[in-house]
Chain A
């Protein structure tokens, strides 16, 4: 039997539609501006549809501007490398922690969990990176972000709930721990690995502060997010000074403001393509992890 719709239901439906509009409008607006002629954009009034359609802003990033294209490639490289190394590290450590008979279990577990409550802070971490000689080196994107306690704990909780029988029968067949890990545990953990891979990839793709602090001196290491941040920073400095912006707009077909919108779209699309399909997994992972921590 279908329940009757009340005023409450109608108001609720309208409210949710409003939430969707408020969430999506900014992205559509930015997409429209990124596809609009830069000089025309300066006249204002672009909403969700470009007025003078052009791909010039994207051509700038993928064609004429070497730095921006390099930044795009570096964003992809660090995301791929960082996600793979992060997954290997977190699953391995999680597996050793899920083995209650492991001699170092208590010690390593404590070492890991404590990092959730206490951290050295900005300056000591900066000094460490400096003393390790990671400044302006690609490894500064990978090494400091290798493990997080939260990710390891989420994976371990998942492993704890796997049936023990499989593991034990493999042991009887004489498989060593590494074989059990790679041949039995990993294939069973794919749902949680997908979740953690998403978290790791998003963190890598979105990261800009490590470039700002540690890799500013090496142009080859710049990323899309950092280039976007630089444009934003310049715009902030000149905010309120409309004339200087107009001068830039008149000078060329593209301008930093339109490029900014195109970078924003390029940085958003990969996320949009991935997260909706992993939704089921990360919702469970998050619920489990939040309770654990």
Chain B
């Protein structure tokens, strides 16, 4: 694949209707430095003139092959009974055994349910909160406050999940502010130990996620909103549209393509929610609601040395993820909206 092809296809995949927003955020994707003629000289002749470039590239090609592609080749482990003490060719091949084991394990379905549950909650609330926050920030007249709110809203994104977990656990503890306020208002009589309530775990994870990432995720929507043609608002004002109606009828439709592209990408990652939050916020009491696929793979694959079984879990995840992204992409194509590829 040549670079010209890359950028050309990237451009043609973007929606045809070209509002100023879309054009604005598309800058960079279609630009190529200069359009020289195709190179006709032989490969080796050109390569011999590019020793410096080759030297700057080959170490990292080796790095990519080792750190990114050898693990993919490691998928064959899922079809073996991998034992580290033996060499690759001495392993016993077992076919689909580990996948069958996986699908017969009740725990796996718990993990799948928790992963999809928290994934969907995170996707819905994460997307909605970011869009609403961007919409409101975009309407804010008090510009100093706008700048400060934006800067402050990025802070939680940059701190680690370890810190956020500490914050959440502190705030939700029996002596924490959350219980204080609820008891003070008379909504509850007794402080609640939220972290020990399995039925609340999904909600806690989702809220923590919203608290951490809303400001950051709003960046892309705000950038899209900045490109909306001001004349549209002027026209709406003449027609007597209120601010809320302007948000609904002008701002939101203008960023629709961006919303859909991000949704497709995020749905593809629905199953790749990781394990950090669940591992750090979870405890033994809430395990039935905190166990996600990656934690399951970690516990069984590494904790119990069932490497092949753990690899099978990873492959299952990758397959689901690819299927999800293909479905979303074709749905978006059918309804005539922006698509990723």
Contact = CB atoms under 8 A, between A and B. Distances in A.
B52 A178 contact: yes
B29 A178 contact: no
A290 B220 contact: yes
A177 interface: yes
B311 A16 contact: no
B12 interface: no
Contacts of A101: 36, 39, 46, 50
Interface in B34-55: 34, 36, 39, 43, 46-47, 50, 52-55
Interface residues of A, number: 105
Given A232-B162, A264-B166, A127 B219 contact: no
B57 interface: yes
Nearest to B71: A120
A160 B33 contact: yes
Interface in A94-126: 95-106, 108-112, 115, 117-126
A251 B295 CA distance: 35
B283 A268 contact: no
A23 B164 CA distance: 11
B86 interface: no
The A contact surface, by secondary structure, is: helix
A202 B158 contact: yes
A276 interface: yes
B74 A120 contact: yes
A24 B57 CA distance: 44
A208 B315 contact: no
Nearest to A33: B170
A122 B253 CA distance: 40
A1 interface: no
Contacts of B335: none
B141 interface: yes
Interface in B212-266: 215, 219-220, 223, 243-244, 262
A103 B193 contact: no
Contact of A176 (B52, B57, B133, B297): B52
B163 A127 contact: no
Contact of A228 (B139, B142, B163, B314): B163
Given A275-B155, A279-B151, A237 B56 contact: no
A288 B39 CA distance: 29
Interface residues of B, number: 108
Contacts of B120: none
A111 B1 CA distance: 10
A235 interface: yes
A271 B1 CA distance: 39
B67 A287 contact: no
B151 A276 contact: yes
B317 interface: yes
Interface of B: 1-4, 6, 10, 25-29, 31-34, 36, 39, 43, 46-47, 50, 52-57, 60-61, 63-75, 77, 82, 84, 133, 136-137, 139-142, 145-146, 148-149, 151-156, 158-163, 165-167, 169-171, 174-175, 177, 193, 195-196, 211, 215, 219-220, 223, 243-244, 262, 276, 280, 282-285, 294, 297-298, 301-302, 307, 310-311, 313-315, 317-318, 322
Given A89-B60, A164-B33, A177-B53, 10 more contacts: A100-B2, A108-B61, A120-B72, A122-B310, A127-B82, A160-B31, A205-B160, A206-B158, A206-B161, A261-B166
